[in-house]
Amino acid sequence: MSKNCVRTRAFTLVELLVVIAIIAVLIGLLLPAVQKVREAANRLHCTNNLKQIGLACHTFENTNGFFPLAYTNPNGPASMKWHNWAPFLFPFMEEGNRIQSYVFATDWWKTPNREIVATKVKSMLCPSTPNPDRIQDKPEATPPNKTGAVTDYFPPTGVNLEINQSLPANDQLATNADLRGVLCWWSAKNQVNKQSDILDGTSNTILMGECAGREDVWHKGIMTTVNFNVSPKVRARGGAWATPDNPYEIGSRKAWDVAFGPIPGQPGINNSNEWGHGFYSFHSQGANFSMADGSVRFLSSATELKLLAYLITRAGGEVIPAP
C-alpha cells in the first residue's frame, strides 16, 4: 500500500443513531420554546387589537357624546335595522373604507351589507384562534341566510341574574342591582351609553372581551363543529362581526336554544364560548380584556365568577379588591 494512501473512517450505524437521537432531543427542547414565543407574540397582537377597539370606543364617545349601542334593532332609533357595535366603530379603527357602502337602514345580512360583512377583518380576530377563515352561515326560514366573516371579540352587555345559580348563597347578586355593562342595547330607558354612566370606575369595568372560536362550540379546548342537523344542535351563536347576536349578558348555563341542551361547567373564563356563558380565548390560562379606561388586562381563568361579574357592571356599586 502506498505511503500516501489515507484511510477515511465512516460513521458506524450506532454513531449515526446517536447523532439522530441527539438532534431529536434538541428539537424536542426547542419546539416548546418556539411555541411559547409564538404564543407570546399572538397574545401581544390580540392585546393590540383590543387596545384599538377600546380606543375607537372612546373616540366614538368623544365625537358623539355616547358609546355605540351593543346592538340596534328595528324598534330603536329611526331608520335603523339589525346591527351591532362594530360597523359604528370601523371609521375610528382605520376601517372606514371597508364600510363606505354599508347601509344602516338595511339589516346587516342583506345586500349591500351582506357582501361587506363577508370580508375577514384581521383586527377583529385573535391570532391564537384556530381557523381565522371561519364563516357564520345560519340557516333562515326566509332567505337569505345570516352569513358573515367572524370576530373573536364582543362587549358583555351586563350580568344575567341566572349567574346566582352558579354562586354560593352568600355571594349571590341582589335582584335589584344595576347589572348593565358599558355597552348596552337599545331600550326606551337606555337609548345611549355615556362615559358618565360608568360609576364603578373605568379601570374597574370591562368594555370588551374575548369570546373566540364562534360559531364552532368550544369547551375547555375541545371543539364541536357547527351542525344544525343533529340533536342537540351545535352552534355557539354570534360569530359574525356585524351580528347583534355577538354581545350578550354573562352568567347563564342555559344554552341560547333549548334544543342545544345545557352548557357543561361553570360560567367564567375559558370554560365555554357558548352564547351567554362567559369569556373564551385560546391563550394559556386566561383571556384579554379591554377596560373602560382604555387599558388592556389579562385575566386568569381562575378569576372568581363573582369578581368577574363585578368587573362587568358599570354602576353596580361593588367594591373591587386590590389585585
pLDDT at 236: 82
CB 200 within 8 A of CB 316: yes
User: pLDDT tens across 243-256, in order?
Assistant: 999 999 999 888 77
For 80, list phi and psi in degrees, rounded to 5: -125, 135
Read off the pLDDT band of 73 (50, 70, 90).
confident
Tell me the pLDDT of the chain averaged across its residues: 88
Asked whether the predicted pLDDT for residue 10 surpasses 70, the reply is: no
Residue 16 CB neighbours (<10 A): 11
In angstroms, the CA 321 to CA 128 distance is: 30
Mean pLDDT throughout 26-44? 76
Q: Are strands 248-250 and 156-159 parallel, antiparallel or unpaired?
A: parallel
pLDDT at 237: 87
H helical segments located in 74-155: 86-89, 113-117
CB 187 within 8 A of CB 194: no
The CA distances from residue 205 to 183, 202, 295, in Å, are 11, 5, 11
Give the number of C-alpha atoms closer than 13 A to the C-alpha of residue 317, restricted to the C-beta side. Answer: 5
Read off the pLDDT band of 211 (50, 70, 90).
very high
CB 119 within 8 A of CB 95: no
Residue 183 is given by DSSP the state S
pLDDT at 29: 73
Read off the pLDDT band of 8 (50, 70, 90).
low
Asked whether the predicted pLDDT for residue 189 surpasses 60, the reply is: no
Q: Which three cell numbers stand for residue 31?
A: 419546539
Mean pLDDT throughout 291-319? 94
Read off the pLDDT band of 228 (50, 70, 90).
low
Residue 80 CB neighbours (<10 A): 15
In angstroms, the CA 105 to CA 118 distance is: 18
User: In 3D, which of 221, 233, 195 has the Cα closest to residue 63?
Assistant: 195
Q: Which three cell numbers stand for residue 43?
A: 397574545
The domain locations on the chain are 30-312
Q: Which three cell numbers stand for residue 15?
A: 454513531
Mean pLDDT throughout 273-297? 95
Q: Which three cell numbers stand for residue 283?
A: 391563550
Query: Any idea which of 35-39, 43-47, 104-108, 277-281 has the lowest mean pLDDT?
Result: 35-39
CB 47 within 8 A of CB 288: yes
In angstroms, the CA 249 to CA 65 distance is: 24
User: Taking the mean position of all CA atoms in its chain, how far away is CA 303?
Assistant: 17
